[in-house]
Amino acid sequence: MTSGDESEVRDSGGSVARAQTPPAPAAPPPPGPAVAGDGNGTLADSASGPAGSGGRPARARRPRIVYVFAVLAVGWLLLGGVGGSYQGKLGEVQKNDNAAYLPNSAESTKVDTASRQFRSVRTIPGFVVYDRQGGLTAQDKAKITADVRSFAGIHGVDAGQLGPPQFARNGAVAAVAVPLVAQDGGREVKGDELVDVEKAVVAAARDGAPAGLAVHPAGPGGLLVAFIEAFSGLDGLLLLAAGLVVVGILLLVYRSPVLWFFPLFSAVLALGVSALIIYPLAKNNVLTLNGQGQGILSVLVIGAGTDYALLLVSRYREELHAYPSRIQAMIVAWRGAAPAITASAVTVILGLLCLSLGELNSTRSLGPVAAIGIACTALIMLIFLPVFLVIAGRWIFWPRIPRVDHQADLAGHGLWARFAGGLVRRARWAWIVTTVVLLACSSLIVTLKVDGLSTTDSLTGRPEAIVGQEIFDANFSQGQGAPAVIITNTVAAADVIAAVRKVDGVATAPGSVCVEVDYAKLAARLASGGRPAARGSDGCAPKSVQVAPVDGRIAIDAAIVHRYDTAEAYNTITAIRRVVREVPGANALVGGQSAINLDTQNASRHDRNLIIPIVLVVILLVLGVLLRALLAPVLLIATVVLSFAATLGVSAVVFNHVFGFANADPGFPLFAFIFLVALGIDYNIFLMTRVREETLIHGTRSGIVRGLAVTGGVITSAGIVLAGTFAVLGVLPLVFLAQVGFSVAFGVLLDTVLVRSVLVPALSHDLGPKIWWPSKLS
């Protein structure tokens, strides 16, 4: 393709970079003021045309689309500005309790719903633990006894379920059961309200406590509050950390003290627009937003947005070397970069929407939440950012301001051109050695532990609730306060109780398996001056204070000896379910806190096994349409899956022996897969779409060399930015997010540096034209 002595080659965005011999000196311009500046003036086009009156060059007519983009950009700016206020309000619509994650079909969810028929108030068990080295004093015991009356007066504490103090055998520890109201009638208590109540309880316990008496929260209530507090301020911390990381990387990439602001500001704008859409959907229960989802949304938008901006800005910079008009340069740059950005966004969105097929509400809703973020990001980067860059002028690239000098062909010089040339000379050895290394890393995947995290193991630090729980576990029955809840037919209640009492893991003390107490009846009896009724020989409360049957069904509590969030407790729940199903006429269902955790883990495994294959098929279809081939998409999918397996293998070693994490959530591989494969395939899309364009002109093997040479720098920079933003998740005190952050960051770097830069081009070069089978290019 030649025009005079100028040859045209396309860069990574599909644009035209020109390599030519030095041009002849231009004729002097006609007298009169110029209509287009050097890039620091107005938006007037400087394309030459027929001379107008006065000898001036005629002003080129701008395409109507330019004005459309300008109006749309202003609209996005206003939406992002309004949405910024909603970003801080997303915490108000979060749901962080496990019950909110489960589908209505889960057994524990059915029990939770049925339990509301027997009691209007649903509680979360909690404890206040008192500890003194050397033993509790008489003054300590008096204070602890008085605290029970203080707790009863705190709004948000279920006074009817307050128990007397328990004292450990060693005489150094005491505990008081302080259940928190989680639902009162039809009103669900929000997470921030639970935090306030728990803080009020601990403050009352510490108020006037004798010197040396330590007070700690514990139990499911205390641990849940610690978990909720871990999410408080999460979004602000993430934005700050991610922003600092992106600024640092962009300063190195652009080598400009100004240019970094434009991509980052656009990404924050996209986050605001996303919040504006997500907030009403979460508020009206169209989707479930939790702290993890909000944190991932922030990182995903900033990381992906910066990637898209890198492609567009890189393309725009190249075109500024060819066009004196900023508008014309941006039009050409946009036409070249938009297909790649759009293909990337569509691939990620489709992959994320596959999460909607999951059972867990949190998994099912994360897909649309993240997809909304990616869609808003792509639109902002394709509509607002181009206008923003054009208005700003060329000076934003200072000190390396691009001038109209018709920059040389990028595919023929530079570091990546030399790297590509050296790689293809040893292509077969390169892809074989790379594959062996990745397979070796993948073999370590067998050491990855995904049996689930207990609440105490879910936090990277040691909040007070964990300290209190450790003291409680060492001195009292660990299963207190979190019984299994059994809903069964009333006629079979006695048989169910008898069967459950024989299950290993169920407490054997009198009163451990009984029909639930109606604490409203008990409180009314005490308020009227009556005495607590004597318990029967089985240790259960008398029928006068038990819950009444509803529609022939009754609720039974079974105390478990193990803490509610342990594998032993889950095994006990499984055994209870098996036993009660064998009771004739019982039609029993088993729920409770341990059952909720167990059902959540089982749903996570189900989602992982279902969604991962579907995502692979969806991405394979997208690649097939994009590349118009079959073999190339299959090979690309295979390389990304190999990269994913290698990442999990390395992550297992790091989690077990470097970070010392006790375990990983069953849903961790799914989250890591979605982000690694959906985002990792982007870099292969950027590479192979460019390779295909070059193949049409230069042939397959030359096209691979040229494609890698031209895309190498910008894609590597994009990978480093994305890895850096996901690594920011590691600053949060949550093991799950730290694990996702490390794995995605490491996997993106592995995919960008090794798979996309070595394995894919080397393997494609070795195969040659066959890579495009069955298209005509093969």
More confident residue, 16 or 106: 106
In 464-551, DSSP assigns E strands to: 484-489, 513-515
For 547-563, write each residue's pLDDT tens digit: 889 999 999 999 999 98
Please check whether residue 653 is in contact with residue 442, taking contact to mean a CB–CB distance below 8 angstroms.
no
SS3 (DSSP) at 213: coil
Across the range 249-261, mean pLDDT stands at 85
Q: How wide is the angle at C-alpha 319 spanned by C-alphas 313 and 323, nearest 5°? A: 135
For 372-420, write each residue's pLDDT tens digit: 999 999 999 999 999 899 988 889 888 888 888 755 455 555 688 888 8
Parallel, antiparallel, or unpaired: how do β-strands 214-218 and 127-131 relate?
antiparallel
Which of 177-181, 244-248, 458-462, 585-589 has maximum average pLDDT? 585-589
Handedness of CA 469, 471, 477, 478 (dihedral sign): positive
- Token digits of residue 552: 């022939």
| 258 HSE (CA, 13 A, CB side) | 11
Q: How wide is the angle at C-alpha 92 spanned by C-alphas 725 and 483, nearest 5°? A: 100
Average predicted confidence (pLDDT) for the chain: 81
- C-alpha 99/C-alpha 443 separation (Å) is 36
Q: Tell me the CA distances in angstroms from 261 to 40, 194, 295, one per residue in order.
A: 18, 40, 22
Give kind and range of the element (H or E) at residue 124. strand 121-124
Q: Tell me the CA distances in angstroms from 140 to 135, 239, 475, one per residue in order.
A: 9, 46, 17
Cα 695 to chain center, whole Å?
Answer: 38
- Token digits of residue 214: 């330590």
Q: Tell me the CA distances in angstroms from 361 to 98, 100, 103, 223, 386, one per residue in order.
A: 10, 7, 6, 22, 37
Return the percentage of the chain with pLDDT > 70, whole number.
86
Beta bridge partners of 6: 3, 20
How far is it between the farthest Cα atoms of the chain? 112
Buried b (16+ CB within 10 A) or exposed e, 666-685: bbbbbbbbbbbbbbbbbbbb
The residues near 90 (Cβ < 8 Å, ≥ 6 apart) are 235, 275, 278, 279, 282, 289, 294
- C-alpha 479/C-alpha 470 separation (Å) is 13
Q: Provide the pLDDT confidence category of residue 765 given band limits of 50, 70 and 90.
A: confident
| 142 HSE (CA, 13 A, CB side) | 5
Q: Provide the pLDDT confidence category of residue 336 given band limits of 50, 70 and 90.
A: confident
In order of their start, the domains of the chain are 119-229 (3.30.70), 233-457+598-772 (1.20.1640.10), 483-524+541-591 (3.30.70)
Q: Which pLDDT does position 99 carry in this prediction?
A: 54
Q: Provide the pLDDT confidence category of residue 232 given band limits of 50, 70 and 90.
A: low
- C-alpha 534/C-alpha 545 separation (Å) is 11
Across the range 7-34, mean pLDDT stands at 38
- Token digits of residue 744: 């995605």
Parallel, antiparallel, or unpaired: how do β-strands 6-10 and 121-124 relate?
unpaired
Residues in the chain: 778
Q: Which pLDDT does position 100 carry in this prediction?
A: 60
Please check whether residue 629 is in contact with residue 772, taking contact to mean a CB–CB distance below 8 angstroms.
yes
Q: Provide the pLDDT confidence category of residue 293 given band limits of 50, 70 and 90.
A: confident
Amino acid code (one letter) for 498? A
Q: Which pLDDT does position 568 carry in this prediction?
A: 92
For 587-632, write each residue's pLDDT tens digit: 999 999 899 989 988 888 899 899 999 988 988 888 888 888 888 8
For 442-467, write each residue's pLDDT tens digit: 999 999 998 888 877 888 878 888 88
For 557-580, write each residue's pLDDT tens digit: 999 999 888 889 999 999 999 999
In DSSP notation, 113-173 reads HHHTTT-SEEEE--EEEEE-TT---HHHHHHHHHHHHHHHTSTTB-GGG----EE-TTSSE
In DSSP notation, 39-50 reads SSS-S------S
- C-alpha 686/C-alpha 341 separation (Å) is 8
User: Which of 664, 684, 698, 680 has the alpha carbon at shortest distance from 758?
Assistant: 684
**Is pLDDT at 701 greater than 60 in this prediction?**
yes
Rg (CA), the chain: 32
